[in-house]
Amino acid sequence: MRLLMLGGTEFVGRAIVEDALDRGWDVTVFHRGHHAAPPRTTALHGDRTAPDGLAALAAGEWDLVVDTWSGAPTAVRDSARLLAGRVGQYTYVSSRSVYVHPSPAGAAGAGEDGPLVEGSPDADGTAYAEDKRGGELAVEAAFGDRALLVRAGLIVGPYENVGRLPWWLNRVARGGPLLAPGRPDLPLQYIDVRDLARWTLDAAAAGRSGAYDLVSPKGHATMGSLIAACAAATGGTVEPRWTPDAVIEEAGIEPWTELPIWLPEGELYDFMFGADVTKALDAGLTCRPVEETAADTWAWLQSLGGIAPHRPDRPQKGISAEREAALLGL
């Protein structure tokens, strides 16, 4: 297989490239040149937001292109149009954020057939959900039934540049009393980036098309098993202080950012952690244990001195030690 990866130097793109190389595929990476391309790849440079930024892709043929773009849909539109006659299939890593939230009455549990936000392939960038939907529409317009839409949920694992799991690992490694949000048996849904990469390339190679929600089955892990996995990986000795949602919210602590991954139970929690992934499971999705995800992410973090890279367009994650201690009365 000849793979063209749009991006490919960070997080999701990097994991997809490495999986493809492990398969013996011929991989071309198109990126801006801000980071080194993975070894054993052919590198092409260009900026998709600049005039003539796709010039390096004017020639060449590939069996598959994978795109993780999350900005203005026009970048996806222009890439898809340019490549439509020279690529067999276009796989777009989208997001479950494209579904309308909160779900209209009667739409809960609709899965991939659920109502979607408005989006346009011609938009210059509006908001994350609308931009991802616009990207989907752009790919479908250019590739039709040769388009695969991977609607990912929360993504964690090695190469994470958003700061969610790395924060928990570093915090647990420090040890001591730990602000543990909610209850230990609170079910979570996420996808290890390597499981996403493997399923995506398997599905593309099999010629699958259309939309798939891609995240672990409901309750694949819990807040308790996540924290325990971080402790096992890091050797940190923590004392989880399980704290009710209402106490955390009353203190003004932001879910998802100050306490990454966690959300208080309710409508948004149900949306984020209640996906029906039957379609992806039937198409071969398997998810590794949370213990493996935590251990491998910690090993990668240690190789970087404990400091993960961070996307400049995403806010820093994690509660400060002072705010945590204050809430715990320390």
Residue-wise pLDDT for 129-140, tens only, equals: 999 999 999 999
What is the pTM assigned to this prediction? Answer: 0.96
Q: What is the mean pLDDT of the chain?
A: 95
SS3 56: helix
Better-scored residue on pLDDT, 223 or 106: 223
In this predicted structure, what is the pLDDT of residue 110?
Answer: 67
273 falls in which pLDDT band (50, 70, 90)?
A: very high
Rg (CA), the chain: 20
Gap between the Cα atoms of 208 and 238, Å rounded: 45
Helix or strand (DSSP H, E) at 200: helix 193-205
pLDDT over threshold 60, residue 68: yes
pLDDT over threshold 60, residue 107: no
Gap between the Cα atoms of 136 and 74, Å rounded: 11
Burial class (CB in 10 A: 0-12, 13-18, 19+), 206: exposed
So where are the chain's domains?
2-152, 159-188+218-273+288-328
308 falls in which pLDDT band (50, 70, 90)?
A: confident
Domain spanning 2-152: CATH 3.40.50.720: yes
